[in-house]
């Protein structure tokens, strides 16, 4: 998943090898066959220089893969269209310029032919004869004969000039009477050679149009940038700059899509490695005159023909993460298998990024309103379209982002109030019991069914052990609201689930806005395998989400700006990362997916837990309109059989402040009464305290009977 250029070029770049010719012994002898020495290494082999050369690609880098050929063809099409527009807009200018050049050409032609037509080549002779006649009148007869001879020699010029003038006049009359199309053709045939004749050495009919490249990189610019960043030594004083150490490019710099691509090796002897280059990303970007978000760099590993000093770099022409977001494939999908990689987004070059989540745990972090929750929901959305995925969801904020999950979730905890915290603790305890039960089942299965001691798609359906998706958003809300003992217990439970759960089919999906040591403890973050961070304030915060030292390797979410909503850095391994613009799935689309997931589970007999007993979800599924005040009140009272009026009002405001911000006890009572709620008691008793409040059974009693019948 690392952004390596070698992945997209297609084949391994050629390596530069140094021929090692062994020194012959004084008395060379044929080595025994069993010695394993190839004939190519023998000094007396005349073909050694040929056979020791590794296979090198014949085609250029851009022609080694179908994707690269397609990208270059598309780039050529864009270039052609740009030139068509550029010169098309200048056609009137070109016409005027052609007429002016033709006029100049006519003038030049006239001036060039006039001496011949007027016999100026004989003017000097005629003047000399006139002078001779004046000086010697007796030579008049000779002068007359010479003039008559001159007249005879130039007679043909005069009648040809007259014939040409008559022909031009006749042609002008004919053109004036001809068809307009023919007139245009004749005019073009006349004007074109005249315009060609009228051009000068510095005069060109067409303007020089070149598409403006925001980044124009050359090997010299690359070396200069690396030298300014302190990665290359400068030449010694008095030496020519060309003698200074330089990188060797195994590919490029070449145009690649909407940017420049290059693979280069650092020179030996400088003590610098590819990791040093990655750490200088911001400086290199500044030297190239671009933003660091446009510079994509990574090491090229040995498996792809690289070494510790080989770097792949792609520099985009502009910010590659702006523009219209890409819709998620889940918006139109009907089914999906959680065992397949999840479509997640696209990288800077438009490559599709897919993330396998089985046997993994995930953590999402970043600043508020940067698309963190929307991105986290993509992972959960994949599990909605698989009937054999059971969802456990907790949202510490308790807002509307995760409310549609009530149609599907086996357990759903909303908010971070006391009752919600107790519900979260109960949910985690239930998960731990289920995890141990599964391990007990898997241990007893024969190796023919469970060869690796882990869940398989066959075991899931055969033993009804669905994959369990554990989604917890806004972790910091729970930790800050808990007492110390409860906090430590919950952290330990989450660590056990994230560490041991994957083998039992548990997929952890955690998120937090403040990924510091207090909000999300290090011992929990450090056992997460997949990490994703939207914009954060600095490199230290980025490392808290993505892992210690990741910013120095190039995985730095602090370079993102507030415009990069839905874009973040995804770390998939110790040395694998990619900046991804996540697919877009809005709240309406997510709600529709939840309804699809409910239908799939009903058909497969997998609708369980809270979703099976949620009357609001049943109303949504049956298409029956339920009064919003009823569904919202039931949502707030999800974890409580009874609730004080003040707490209920606070929960409604937290759910939707725009609607319930001005509610008081009297308005709430009036709205609920209008929705059909009949209170059996206006006082409730909680923890020995009596106060005004509501019973959940009174709210549920107001649900229309047809919903209860369909639900029951």
pLDDT tens-place string over residues 684-702: 988 888 999 998 888 888 8
Of 480, 500, 505, residue with least CA distance to 490: 480
> How many residues appear in the chain?
712
| Residue 578, SS3 per DSSP | strand
Torsion of CA 123, 124, 127, 132, to 10 degrees: -140
Contact (CB, 8 A) for 15 and 54: yes
Residue 667: the pLDDT is 92
Q: Residue 498's pLDDT band (boundaries 50, 70, 90)?
A: very high
Contact (CB, 8 A) for 330 and 24: no
Contacts for 3 with CB less than 8 Å, ≥ 6 apart: 296, 297, 298, 312, 314, 347, 348, 577, 578, 579
% of the chain exceeding 90 in pLDDT: 28
In the predicted structure, residue 239 carries a pLDDT above the cut 60: no
Of 83, 74, 164, residue with least CA distance to 116: 164
- Give the model confidence (pLDDT) of 628-657 as tens digits: 888 888 888 877 888 899 989 988 888 788
Q: Residue 219's pLDDT band (boundaries 50, 70, 90)?
A: confident
* Angstrom distance (rounded) from CA 250 to CA 300: 12
% of the chain exceeding 70 in pLDDT: 78
In the predicted structure, residue 338 carries a pLDDT above the cut 60: yes
Residue 417: the pLDDT is 85
Q: Residue 670's pLDDT band (boundaries 50, 70, 90)?
A: very high
- Of 8-17, 198-207, 515-524, 571-580, least confident by mean pLDDT is 8-17
Residue 54: the pLDDT is 53
| Residue 439, SS3 per DSSP | helix
Residue 9: the pLDDT is 38
- Of 211-225, 355-369, 530-544, least confident by mean pLDDT is 211-225
Residue 152: the pLDDT is 67
Of 626, 629, 618, residue with least CA distance to 595: 618
Q: How many CA atoms lie within 13 A of 15 on its CB side?
A: 17
| Surface-to-core class of residue 172, CB atoms within 10 Å of its CB (0-12 exposed, 13-18 middle, 19+ buried) | exposed
Average pLDDT of the chain? 81
- Give the model confidence (pLDDT) of 63-98 as tens digits: 767 766 776 787 788 778 888 888 888 888 888 888
Residue 134: the pLDDT is 66
| DSSP 8-state symbol, 236 | P
Contacts for 206 with CB less than 8 Å, ≥ 6 apart: 87, 90, 94
Torsion of CA 492, 494, 499, 505, to 10 degrees: 140
| Residue 362, SS3 per DSSP | strand
Residue 472: the pLDDT is 95
- Of 74-88, 112-126, 436-450, 508-522, least confident by mean pLDDT is 112-126
User: 298: which strand partners?
Assistant: 312
In the predicted structure, residue 597 carries a pLDDT above the cut 80: yes
* Angstrom distance (rounded) from CA 450 to CA 504: 12
Q: Residue 236's pLDDT band (boundaries 50, 70, 90)?
A: low
Q: Which range has highest mean pLDDT (34-38, 289-293, 432-436)? A: 432-436
- Cα 72 from chain centroid (whole Å): 18
* Angstrom distance (rounded) from CA 417 to CA 424: 10
- Give the model confidence (pLDDT) of 288-307 as tens digits: 888 888 998 888 888 888 88
Contact (CB, 8 A) for 704 and 615: no
- Of 133-142, 383-392, 448-457, 507-516, least confident by mean pLDDT is 133-142
Using CA atoms, how far residue 217 sits from 60, 63, 315, 453, 458, in Å, is 19, 21, 9, 53, 54
Of residues 54 and 255, the one with the higher pLDDT is 255
Per residue, the 3-state secondary structure of 240-300, as one string, reads: CHHHCCCCEEEEEEEECCCEEEEEEECCCCCCCCHHHHHHCHHHHHHHHCCCHHHEEEEEC
- Of 13-22, 195-204, 353-362, 650-659, least confident by mean pLDDT is 13-22
In the predicted structure, residue 681 carries a pLDDT above the cut 80: yes
- Of 234-238, 270-274, 300-304, least confident by mean pLDDT is 234-238
| DSSP 8-state symbol, 562 | T
SS3 content of the chain, % helix, strand, coil (to 5): 50, 15, 35
Mean pLDDT of 32-55: 54
- Of 14-23, 98-107, 511-520, 686-695, least confident by mean pLDDT is 14-23
Residue 651: the pLDDT is 85
């Amino acid at each position: 998943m690392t952004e390596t250029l070698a992945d997209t070029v297609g084949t391994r770049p050629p390596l530069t090898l140094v021929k090692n010719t062994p020194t012959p012994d004084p008395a060379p002898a044929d080595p025994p066959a069993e010695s394993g020495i190839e004939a190519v290494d023998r000094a007396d082999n005349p073909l050694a220089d040929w056979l020791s050369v590794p296979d090198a690609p014949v085609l250029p880098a851009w022609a080694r893969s179908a994707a690269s050929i397609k990208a270059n063809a598309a780039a050529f099409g864009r270039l052609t269209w740009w030139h068509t527009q550029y010169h098309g807009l200048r056609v009137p200018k070109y016409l005027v310029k052609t007429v002016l050049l033709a006029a100049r050409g006519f003038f030049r032609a006239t001036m060039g032919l006039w001496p011949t037509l007027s016999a100026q080549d004989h003017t000097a002779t005629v003047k000399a004869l006139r002078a001779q006649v004046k000086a010697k009148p007796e030579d008049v007869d000779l002068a007359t004969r010479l003039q008559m001879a001159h007249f005879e020699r130039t007679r043909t010029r005069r009648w040809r000039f007259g014939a040409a003038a008559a022909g031009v006049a006749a042609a002008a009359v004919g053109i004036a009477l001809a068809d307009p199309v023919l007139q245009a053709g004749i005019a073009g045939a006349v004007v074109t050679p005249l315009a060609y004749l009228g051009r000068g050495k510095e005069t060109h009919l067409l303007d020089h149009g070149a598409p403006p490249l925001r980044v124009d990189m050359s090997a010299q610019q690359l070396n200069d940038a690396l030298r300014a960043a302190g990665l290359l030594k400068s030449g010694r004083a008095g030496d020519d700059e060309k003698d200074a150490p330089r990188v060797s490019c195994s590919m490029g710099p070449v145009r690649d899509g909407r940017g420049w691509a290059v693979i280069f090796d650092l020179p030996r002897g400088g003590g610098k490695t590819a990791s040093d280059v990655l750490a200088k990303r911001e400086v290199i970007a500044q030297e190239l005159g671009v933003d660091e978000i446009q510079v994509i760099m990574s090491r090229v590993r040995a498996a792809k023909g690289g070494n510790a000093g080989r770097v792949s770099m792609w520099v985009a022409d502009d910010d590659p993460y702006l523009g219209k977001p890409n819709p998620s494939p889940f918006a139109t999908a009907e089914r999906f298998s959680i065992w397949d990689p999840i479509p997640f987004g696209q990288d800077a070059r438009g490559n599709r990024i897919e993330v396998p989540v089985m046997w993994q745990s995930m953590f999402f972090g970043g600043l508020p309103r940067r698309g963190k929750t929307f991105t986290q929901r993509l992972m959960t959305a994949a599990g909605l379209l698989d009937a054999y995925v059971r969802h456990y969801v907790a949202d510490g904020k308790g807002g509307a982002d995760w409310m549609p999950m009530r149609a599907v979730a086996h357990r759903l905890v909303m908010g971070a109030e006391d009752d919600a915290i107790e519900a979260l603790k109960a949910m985690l305890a239930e998960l731990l019991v289920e995890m141990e039960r599964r391990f007990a089942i898997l241990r007893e299965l024969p190796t023919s069914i469970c060869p690796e001691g882990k869940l398989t798609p066959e075991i899931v359906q055969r033993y009804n052990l669905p994959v369990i998706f554990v989604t917890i958003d806004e972790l910091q809300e729970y930790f800050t609201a808990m007492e110390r003992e409860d906090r430590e217990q919950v952290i330990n439970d989450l660590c056990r689930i994230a560490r041991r759960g994957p083998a039992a089919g548990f997929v952890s999906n955690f998120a937090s806005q403040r990924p510091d040591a207090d909000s999300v403890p290090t011992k929990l973050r450090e056992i997460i395998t997949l990490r994703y961070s939207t914009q954060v304030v600095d490199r230290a915060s980025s490392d808290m989400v993505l892992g210690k030292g990741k910013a120095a390797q190039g995985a730095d979410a602090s370079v993102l700006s507030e415009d990069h909503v839905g874009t973040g850095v995804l770390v998939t391994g110790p040395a694998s990362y990619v900046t991804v613009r996540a697919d877009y799935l809005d709240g309406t689309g997510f709600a529709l997916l939840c309804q699809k997931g409910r239908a799939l589970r009903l058909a497969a007999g997998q609708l369980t837990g809270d979703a099976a007993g949620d009357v609001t979800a049943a109303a949504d599924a049956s298409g029956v309109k339920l009064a919003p005040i009823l569904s919202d009140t039931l949502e707030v009272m999800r974890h409580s059989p009874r609730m004080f009026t003040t707490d209920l009002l606070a929960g409604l405001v937290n759910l939707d402040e725009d609607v319930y911000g001005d509610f008081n006890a009297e308005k709430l009572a009036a709205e609920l009464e209008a929705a059909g709620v009949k209170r059996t008691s206006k006082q409730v008793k909680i923890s020995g305290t009596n106060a005004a409040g509501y019973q959940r059974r009174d709210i549920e009693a107001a649900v229309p009977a047809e919903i209860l019948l369909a639900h029951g």
